[in-house]
Chains A and B, each alone.
Chain A
Amino acid sequence: EVQLLEFGGGLVQPGKSLRLSCAASGFTFSTYAMSWVRQAPGKGPEWVSSIMGSGESPFYADSVKGRFTISRDNSKNTLFLQMNNLRAEDTAVFYCAKGYGSGRSPFDSWGQGTLVTVSS
């Protein structure tokens, strides 16, 4: 059974940094693209970033490009999201998801989410 467990959310001031982690199990982690998807309160999901199984070719939504960095450690089956220069509009539940959101690679498993609140 696929399991994705996110860690690292919390309350942070605008302009500060936060690092999210996602521990994966139940599948061959290194062979799948992984993504971060966020959902602001009362809104639909918003794709944030994806990374291929090898760790190459990360890609980002325009709203986070230059501020967020996705990475992975395939030896530890863990996905990361380094978030810098956080803004109030980044406040959301952040989900780790398996896949990169296309038809051939939909988000077929999701973690339970971790809440990031950016406020002074």
Chain B
Amino acid sequence: QSVLTQPRSASGTPGQRVTISCSGSNSNIGSNTVNWYQQFPGTAPKLLLYTTNQRPSGVPDRFSGSKSGTSASLAISGLQSEDEANYYCSSWDGSLNGPVFGGGTKLTVL
């Protein structure tokens, strides 16, 4: 199983705010920042947030991130149908000397 733990699924209605959690340990999230990736079926992952809460150019400010202790969260406000995708958290792991990922959360827009 994955080093970081995410809920397998999440859902919301258009316009709602949803959050996706990501749980790790002291060797990863507890001592490093978190990156989030968005992936649509059949395509490559795309960087959504880096260093916990920074958005690459082109990512709407509806997407935000936070971290507390060994857990992190991705929040999506003003949910839109095009946000339906899989979301993965990732963090550097100092014990493994490499980045680790969560198993992913499938977001459904009802």
Q: Closest residue to B103 on the A side, CB-wise? A: A44
B90: CB under 8 A from chain A?
Answer: yes
- Which residue on A lies nearest to B104, using beta carbons? A44
Distance (whole angstroms) from the CB of B23 to the closest CB of chain A: 14
Question: Which residues of B from 69 to 94 have beta carbons under 8 Å from A?
Answer: 88, 90-92
Scoring A47, A60, A62, A112 by chain B CB atoms within 10 A of each residue's CB, the highest score goes to A47
- A59 with B50, Cβ < 8 A, contacts A44-B104, A103-B34, A103-B35 known: no
> Interface residues, chain B, CB within 8 Å of chain A?
2, 32-35, 37, 43-47, 50-52, 56, 88, 90-92, 96-104
- Interface window among A21-29, A83-91, A94-102: A94-102
Contact residues on A (Cβ < 8 Å of other chain), bracket: 20 to 34
Query: Roughly how many angstroms separate A108 CA and B43 CA in the complex, as a whole number?
Result: 15
Q: Which among B35, B97, B98 has the greatest number of chain A C-beta atoms within 10 A?
A: B98
**Contact yes or no, B52 A103, CB < 8 A:** yes
Task: Please encode chain A, from 25 to 58, with 1 for each CB lying within 8 Å of some chain B CB and 0 for all others.
Answer: 0000000000000010001111100100000000
Q: How far is the CA of A11 from the CA of B50 in the complex (A)?
A: 35
A43 to B39, CA, bound (A): 12
Closest 6 CB pairs of A and B: A101-B99, A103-B33, A110-B44, A103-B51, A106-B50, A106-B35
Would you mind naming 5 contact pairs between A and B with Cβ atoms under 8 Å apart?
Answer: A44-B103, A47-B98, A47-B101, A102-B92, A103-B51
For residue A111, which residues in chain B have a CB less than 8 angstroms away from its CB?
44
In the bound complex, do residue A45 and residue B51 qualify as a contact, i.e. CB atoms below 8 Å apart?
A: no
Tell me, rounded to whole Å, the shortest Cβ–Cβ distance linking A98 to chain B. Answer: 10
Q: Are the C-beta atoms of B104 and A103 separated by less than 8 Å?
A: no
Please state if A103 and B50 are interface contacts (CB–CB under 8 Å): yes
B97 contacts across to A, CB distance below 8 A: 59
- What residues on A are CB-neighbors of B35 within 8 Å? 101, 103, 106-107
